[in-house]
A and B are shown apart, each in its own frame.
Chain A
Amino acid sequence: MNDRGFVNALGAELLAMAETFGRFAFLTRSVVAWLYRAPIEWRQVLIQMSRIGVESLPVTTMTTFFTGMVLALQTGASSKHFFNEPLFVGTVVSFAMVMELSPVMTSLVVAGRAGAAIAAELGTMKVTEQIDALYTLGTDPVRYLIIPRLLAFFFVLPVLVIVSDFSGTFGGWVVSYVKLQIPTSVYLDDIFNNMEIRHFMHGFIKSFVFSVVISLICCFKGITTTGGAEGVGKSTTAAVVLSMVSVLIMDYFVTAILSALGIT
């Protein structure tokens, strides 16, 4: 490729990126507008909520349970190394889970599970003209498809995160009790002597932010699919990767903001 070719290709790439951002902004605006303009399709919201919840719950619980277990194991091992006995295992596990790992891990798993499903479903609807059909039948894909999914994520993800808080802490207890021989009362005291409501809120608030990030990105990738079955595959993969990366990046900024606000 000669210089001109490279510059042209780069320019085209940048233009395409700018266009994508523009369309994403339009979608966001349209979502906000429709939230005010028309009644919400609650039936669809409920359908999506049960779908997302049922699809994701087993995987998120399992994932965070093992995360809690490994946290306990690592904490126990290092504090044994320094202090000759496992100290503050409950504190470390519960703080790490509630503030950071449970919202992030749950969101990543949900992005891979429910987010991918949404992108694939909307993508298929796009390439088979079902989205166009919605327009001809008097409704709008933002109102009928996207808002219900967004709300469903918004309500379900925080619930999944709370379940994960418990399953992670429970996983930590299993290892502490069985492997590290820490009495249950000590494990619980380690948690409740230190944990405050703001620590819980820290992770809880994050989960709302992540729910919006994942659902907006996956819906956007879905309804902008082109190019048949191959296109659906591409946009689904892109949706998952982009939403996972965005969750991790957003995590830093949300943490920074929450810390500045003292919710930490």
Chain B
Amino acid sequence: MIDIVGVKKSYPGRPVLRGIDLTVMSGETLAIIGGSGCGKSTLLKCVIGLVRPDAGAIVVDGMDIARLTNEADVARYRRRFGYLFQEGALFDSMSIWENVTFGLRYLTDIAPGRYRQIARDKLALVGLKDIEDLRPSELSGGMKKRVALARAIAAEPSYILYDEPTTGLDPIMSDVINDLILDLQKALKTTAIVVTHDMKSAYKVSSRMAMIHEGRVLAVAHPEVMKISNDPYVRQFIDGLSHGPIKMKLKEFEPELAADNGAAAGGAR
């Protein structure tokens, strides 16, 4: 169980998380949705301890990450997690199969002789084959994402944090990944947080959805309930409308934009 209580985080001059309270039950998949830049990745990083919150607590199976002081305890805490980075974060000095199996050495006692086969199996799960010996720089964006996913799940962690698992994938591959997330949850009873902008994926994989807006949790609900929500913010977001209570940042620049356009038009004339 992941218990997030009153987590706050600011970067210099910009508050990002302003008090997040969320609970993820064991075996459940929580989808987090919210506008770009609202702090979803930051929240995931707080959970795994890559970013230290300014306030609040994150408790996983009774361990509070903020209270772990020595590196060994922090390492033990992190071992429970698989983490899919938004940008993949593959090691570009290593081949694909070495990337996928990198964590096994430190997280499991599987014999190194079996790594290649494991890499092949995990890559097959994400719909990739015959790329074991390539380098990350030789892959497309969507392929990198899937290799990163294979790496995150390779050690079969009990918690998986997915940062936009289906972004950059075609619709069919997105659904393959959705199925994979569901399968992992069923077969290994993993507890997962999925950050996503892909509503179809969110509805399909999650047992609950949470929407973050302006650094706070705006709504938490079952996906079917979320779908028919009356909250104008939630409605606007899940329907993907540019008009509504959520003012996109763009709006603030509009006078300037108009002025720029005017100037440009003037120049062209």
Contact = CB atoms under 8 A, between A and B. Distances in A.
A137 B92 contact: no
Interface string A119-151: 001000100111011011111100000000000
How large, as a class, is the contact surface on chain A? 10 to 19
Interface in B39-54: 45, 48-50
Nearest to B45: A132
Contact of A138 (B45, B92, B93, B103): B103
Interface string B55-66: 000000000000
Interface residues of B, number: 27
A121 B91 CA distance: 11
Given A130-B90, A130-B92, A137 B102 contact: yes
A37 B92 CA distance: 27
Contacts of A125: 91
Interface in B74-99: 75, 78-79, 81-83, 85, 87, 89-93
Contacts of B253: none
Given A138-B103, A138-B107, A139-B106, A133 B85 contact: yes
A33 B70 CA distance: 11
Contacts of A133: 83, 85, 89-91
A230 B87 CA distance: 19
Interface in B213-241: none
Contacts of B102: 137
B79 A138 contact: yes
B71 interface: yes
B78 A136 contact: yes
B103 A129 contact: no
Nearest to B101: A137
B78 A128 contact: no
A136 B48 contact: yes
Contacts of B89: 128-130, 132-133
Given A129-B85, A132-B50, A138 B75 contact: yes
B81 A136 contact: yes
A85 B152 CA distance: 74
Contacts of A33: 71
Interface string B149-171: 00110010000000000000000
A58 B92 CA distance: 27
B144 to A, nearest CB: 11
B264 to A, nearest CB: 28
Contact of B106 (A37, A130, A138): A138
Interface string A96-137: 000000000000000000000000010001001110110111
B71 A136 contact: no
Contacts of B155: 137-138
A132 B82 CA distance: 12
Contacts of A121: 93
A128 B90 CA distance: 9
A124 to B, nearest CB: 8
A30 B70 CA distance: 11
Nearest to A137: B103
Contacts of A129: 85, 87, 89
Contact of A130 (B50, B91, B107): B91
Given A129-B85, A140-B71, A135 B78 contact: yes
Among A30, A130, A132, which residue has the most Cβ atoms of chain B within 10 A? Answer: A130
A138 B87 CA distance: 19
A135 B50 contact: yes
A135 B50 CA distance: 8
Contacts of A132: 45, 50, 85, 89
Contacts of B105: 138-139
Contacts of B45: 132
Contacts of A135: 48-50, 78
A138 to B, nearest CB: 3
A37 B70 CA distance: 12
A136 B92 contact: no
A72 B81 CA distance: 63
B251 to A, nearest CB: 27
Interface in B176-195: none
Nearest to A47: B93
Contacts of B85: 129, 132-133
A183 to B, nearest CB: 52
Given A135-B50, A136-B82, A128 B87 contact: yes
A29 to B, nearest CB: 11
A128 B85 CA distance: 10
Interface of A: 30, 33, 37, 121, 125, 128-130, 132-133, 135-140
9 contacts: A128-B92, A133-B85, A133-B89, A133-B90, A136-B78, A136-B81, A137-B106, A138-B103, A138-B105
Per CB-CB distance, the 7 closest pairs between chain A and chain B, nearest first, are: A138-B106, A137-B103, A129-B89, A136-B83, A133-B89, A138-B107, A139-B106
